[in-house]
Amino acid sequence: MSAKYVFVTGGVVSSLGKGLAAASIGCLLESRGLRVNLMKFDPYLNVDPGTMSPFQHGEVFVTDDGAETDLDLGHYERFTHAPLSRDNNLTTGRIYEQIIMKERRGDYLGKTVQVIPHVTNEIKNAMRKVSSNGADVTIVEIGGTVGDIESLPFLEAIRQMRQELGRENTVFVHLTLVPWIAAAQELKTKPTQHSVKELLGIGIQADILLCRCDRNLGREMKQKIAAFCNVEERAVVGAKDVPSIYEVPLCFAAEGVDSLILKYLRKEAPEADLTNWKDLVDRCYHPKDVVSIAIVGKYVEYEDSYKSLKEALTHGAISQNLKLNVTWIEAEGLESKTPDDRSYESQLAGFDGILVPGGFGKRGIEGMLNAIRYAREHQVPYFGICLGMQTACIEFARNVCGLKDANSSEFDPSSQHRIIYKLRELLGVEEMGGTMRLGAWTCILQEDSLAAKAYGGATEISERHRHRYEFNREYEALLTGGGLLLSGTTPDSTYVEIVELPGHPYFLGCQFHPEFKSKPLEPHPLFREFIVASYKNRQGRLSSDVSETSTLTNLLSS
């Protein structure tokens, strides 16, 4: 049986949500009992996003096999159960790297290496490899915007795929913009018409149009687009803005997107079961209360830098029927001007929980340490991820164990007390990405620890990593003597994976990135328990405020 593909392209402008659209289509096909796989082609020349600035590219998503990938793969994993790996995200840089290696080895037998057929063949082979794992449908997202010179080889490759596989095995879904022009007080279809025309000039006729708009797309507008763009009227889908991204699959289902794709692919499937998604969205829109979390980070000016983190917190909140209120705090803004300066406390007061996420470099570290100290001393639930665990260890060493110059060799290579250091470098381990520890690693949990309880009593887990520096076990006795618990380590006890503070409502730091494995219908246990602890803190604080107000009222009345 031939492999079947859905190709997702975008036009008019970038950032229309191709990744969410691809993920939502995958979600709908999965809900019909089909097995899906997804992949993303990025047109930039970087080999992968691993060394790109978070301010420009956003989050680097990591798969189990250690691939540093585009953040859209995070959407794919959250919306589906597709088994993603480094094969599911390829850049122009990676493809050209492979071609040049083959040319240097003589694989092309001295032939002239060209975009067609060599580059396009490499792209098609990558798609075939991903679809060969038994998927019923493979969804392929082409990054960039139609008309960009960088995207042309990918668009040519998917055009060839239709020629080779036939219409019954390929569907082209094109995401466009239908803007509301305030001066004219109407939606305009011309950008969509031009985008479809641009695609047609490459040799691709769109089958389904997902029209991004900020309001409902009326029937007359759909008829007009269908007539000018040569598609069925029901293939013009109004992709309206919605408050929650988790409503997108339901909106697509209401417009019949999955049914249309299956019709074009000539594939039978049961009716979709979206009961759990409907319940999820209902909880999003009808929370019983709110929970307020402060995220103290280095890249807060660009929220996409922490895309999976924000979603994982949302998953934890939804699981408790709570609305998540996140406040992004720039770590540098919490730094003290003098040793006795505690003015940062006013910026942190009133939050139910505090989280310090991952990051690289020295900037903002002192502000993170102040936030952690505040959470520890004021019994505010604290969750530290990667850098957030390392800074928690440094703060504890400084302010509880008395090592005033405790630091990480990343921030101060000459520090006398390197609580955090580059262990792999000292061991002589070198690999792609320098000494980076990437991908899934096994962690052994201490029984009855906060972590073990969060994981439902499990004593062995697997989580994904992306970091270079490790906890220095030479300081283990000192820190554990001060009360810190090392509750998670690798099976060989080389690396410390989790630290926590017994007696605190919730004080936990993990060296891995749990946000990469959280799903809306399967919230990660550490995020779920952090939200539970934060909400308890909120209830306790509000109860205390009510009690103080009542006492003051009684005193005044007497």
DSSP 522: B
Long-range contacts of 307-311 (CB under 8 A, 24+ apart): 307/58, 307/59, 307/61, 307/71, 307/74, 308/59, 308/61, 308/71, 308/74, 308/513, 308/515, 308/516, 308/518, 309/59, 309/355, 309/357, 309/385, 309/515, 311/74, 311/78, 311/515, 311/518, 311/520
Residue 239, token pair as written in the block: 């992709």
Amino acid letter for position 553: T
Beta-bridged to residue 328, according to DSSP, are 295
Task: Report d(CA 523, CA 78) in Å as an integer.
Answer: 10
Q: Determine the length of the chain.
A: 558
Map tokens 């299956």 to a residue: 262
Residue pair 37/22 in contact by the 8 Å Cβ criterion: no
Residue 488 region by backbone torsions, left for phi larger than 0, else alpha for psi between -120 and 50, else beta: beta
Task: Tell me whether strands 407-408 and 382-385 are parallel, antiparallel or unpaired.
Answer: unpaired
Closest CA to 460 of 446, 445, 448, 449: 445
Only one residue has tokens 């970087």, namely 46
The one catalytic residue among 255, 311, 515, 529: 515
Q: Does 500 qualify as catalytic in the annotation?
A: no
CA triple 128-129-134, angle to 5 deg: 90
**Residue in 386, 401, 443, 510 annotated catalytic:** 386
Please give the DSSP secondary-structure letter assigned to residue 87.
G
Residues 6 or more apart in contact with residue 100 via CB below 8 angstroms: none
Catalytic residue (choose from 465, 513, 524, 529): 513
Is 510 one of the annotated active-site residues of the chain?
no
Question: How many Å apart are CA 144 and CA 141, to the nearest integer?
Answer: 10
Q: Are 378 and 324 in contact (CB under 8 A)?
A: no
Give the DSSP letter string of 336-377: -SSTT--TTHHHHTT-SEEEE----SSTTHHHHHHHHHHHHH
DSSP 8-state class, residue 511: S
- Give Cβ neighbours of residue 119 (< 8 Å, ≥ 6 apart): 95, 96, 99, 153, 157
| Residue 515 annotated among the catalytic residues of the structure | yes
What DSSP element (H or E) covers 295?
strand 289-297
| Calpha distance 35→445 (Å, rounded) | 33
User: Residues with catalytic annotation?
Assistant: 386, 513, 515
